[in-house]
């Protein structure tokens, strides 16, 4: 068994390259189902967010394929053109990466909350599609546990920020008048709601676009107004700031649409979506100032942040060690099962003559032998796993090897 992943993120690829490899829930499910059918792939998970896309797989040890090639087949692109944007990790390096990622230590905004939910949701999507396996199940669950412990026990001075919070900080440095600003947020999904909430905290007048579905009433963040999505272009000229944060595969604003509005004042456009919600050409229009999610990166960590990261590292390492106890023990389970069966057979041979002398019917003798087999198996199993819980991993493996030699002949 082998654990491997390939990933593309904001460190090596801009928003447009990342968009080529992003997945919606629907096409992520289809891609994982396709991957699961490949001989040698035991399970897979796709994690796709605004800042990154990662493809995870547990494979047979002798699988000779590459995840990059399989991914590029799905996306119908040439792997030689895009390989430079990806990082490949295997085994310990991959495990270490996932735990640090889920704990927020590899996010564009350090220790942000969203990544824990995103990793958890990625596992749920894979589980619902029946494409994961017990290795990835335990790995991702343990990583989420580590992330929650870091969130609960470690204080980061800039924790819980979003890309919108970073954008607000940048605009505050430019003395943007939030208290008098009229803002529109296109999109009322998770990202849109977070953006609207962040803007409301500044005192800005915030209007959110919504699409009314038959499924029921659409809620928006407290303190915000609403308009229908189709009214966004009529509303836009009166805005000082326009944010778009949807999961739509199509643009919510195009250059042609904005040029047709004849802007009378400077408007700041912020595109937080991957793939883009706003056409890049909008930034070329007079009176329009366009930013993407890649424009809001943190500077180097402070001394206090470095101290918090050390505390997080200790928590992460403890959870990683716990995962390896399970992972390495998992490989020993078939060997332990064989030891148990050999021990039970040995006991049966030693009791055979004694049981034969007892005044029992044939059925009573069979029932007694079955009960002895069950009891003996439980005793042996309890003893072996008791050793596992009290010995270091290497010492426990030595014990298993020693027990195997007892019944080799």
Task: Report, as residue numbers or ranges, the catalytic residues.
Answer: 50
Give me the count of residues in the chain. Answer: 409
Residue 289 counted as an annotated binding residue: no
Residue 114 counted as an annotated binding residue: yes
Residue 256: which of 227, 282, 221, 294 has the closest Cα?
282
Residue 5 counted as an annotated binding residue: no
Residue 307 counted as an annotated binding residue: no
Count CA atoms within 13 Å of residue 132 on its CB side: 24
Sequence-distant (≥ 6) Cβ neighbours of residue 229 within 8 angstroms: 186, 209, 210, 211
Q: 247 near 22, Cβ under 8 Å?
A: no
The pair phi, psi for residue 270, each rounded to 5°, is -125, 120
Are β-strands 225-228 and 241-244 bridged in parallel, bridged antiparallel, or unpaired?
A: unpaired
Residue 234 counted as an annotated binding residue: no
Residue 191 counted as an annotated binding residue: yes
Residue 348 counted as an annotated binding residue: no
Report d(CA 313, CA 150) in Å as an integer.
9
Residue 188 counted as an annotated binding residue: yes
Residue 52 counted as an annotated binding residue: yes
Q: 330 near 87, Cβ under 8 Å?
A: no
Q: What is the rounded (10 degree) CA torsion for 123, 24, 194, 241?
A: 160
Residue 187 counted as an annotated binding residue: yes
Residue 383 counted as an annotated binding residue: no
Residue 189 counted as an annotated binding residue: yes
- Count the Cβ atoms, other than its own, within 10 Å of residue 385: 13
Report d(CA 80, CA 346) in Å as an integer.
59
Give 75-83's long-range contacts (Cβ < 8 A, gap of 24+): 75/20, 75/21, 77/20, 82/17, 82/20, 82/21
Residues placed in the known binding site for NADP(+): 187-192
Residues placed in the known binding site: 49-52, 107, 112-114, 118, 187-192
Residues placed in the known binding site for substrate: 49-52, 107, 112-114, 118
């Amino acid at each position: 068994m082998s654990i491997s992943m390939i990933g593309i993120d904001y460190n090596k690829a801009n928003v447009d390259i990342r968009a080529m490899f992003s997945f919606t829930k629907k096409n992520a499910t289809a891609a994982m189902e396709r991957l699961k059918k490949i001989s040698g792939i035991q399970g897979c998970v796709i994690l796709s967010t605004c800042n990154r896309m990662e493809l995870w797989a547990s494979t047979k040890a002798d699988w000779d394929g590459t995840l990059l090639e399989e991914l590029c087949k799905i996306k119908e692109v040439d792997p030689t053109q895009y390989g430079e944007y990806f990082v490949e990790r295997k085994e310990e390096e991959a495990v270490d990466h996932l735990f640090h990622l889920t704990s927020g230590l590899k996010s564009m905004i350090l220790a942000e909350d969203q990544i824990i939910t995103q990793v958890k949701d990625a596992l749920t999507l894979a589980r619902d599609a029946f494409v994961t396996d017990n290795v990835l199940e335990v790995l991702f669950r343990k990583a989420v546990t580590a992330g929650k412990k870091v969130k609960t026990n470690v204080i980061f001075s800039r924790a819980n920020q979003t890309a919108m919070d970073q954008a607000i900080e940048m605009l505050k440095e430019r003395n943007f008048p939030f208290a008098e600003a009229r803002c529109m947020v296109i999109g009322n999904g998770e990202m849109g709601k977070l953006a609207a909430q962040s803007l409301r905290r500044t005192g800005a007048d915030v209007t959110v676009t919504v699409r009314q579905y038959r499924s029921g009433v659409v809620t928006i963040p407290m303190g915000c107004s609403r308009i229908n999505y189709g009214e966004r272009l009529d509303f836009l000229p009166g805005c000082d700031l326009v944010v778009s944060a949807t999961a739509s595969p199509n643009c919510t604003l195009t250059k042609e649409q904005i040029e047709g509005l004849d802007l009378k004042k400077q408007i700041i456009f912020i595109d937080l979506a991957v793939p883009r919600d706003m056409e890049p050409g909008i930034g070329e229009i007079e009176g329009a100032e366009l930013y993407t999610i890649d424009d809001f990166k943190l500077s180097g960590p402070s001394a206090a942040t470095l101290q918090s990261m050390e505390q997080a590292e200790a928590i992460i390492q403890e959870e990683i060690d716990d995962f390896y106890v399970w992972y390495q023990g998992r490989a020993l389970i078939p060997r332990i099962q064989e030891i148990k069966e050999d021990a039970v057979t040995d006991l049966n041979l030693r009791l055979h003559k004694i049981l034969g002398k007892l005044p029992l019917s044939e059925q009573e003798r069979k029932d007694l032998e079955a009960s002895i087999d069950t009891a003996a198996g439980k005793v042996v199993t309890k003893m072996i796993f008791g050793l596992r819980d009290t010995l270091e991993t290497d010492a426990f493996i030595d014990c298993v090897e020693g027990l195997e030699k007892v019944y080799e002949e």
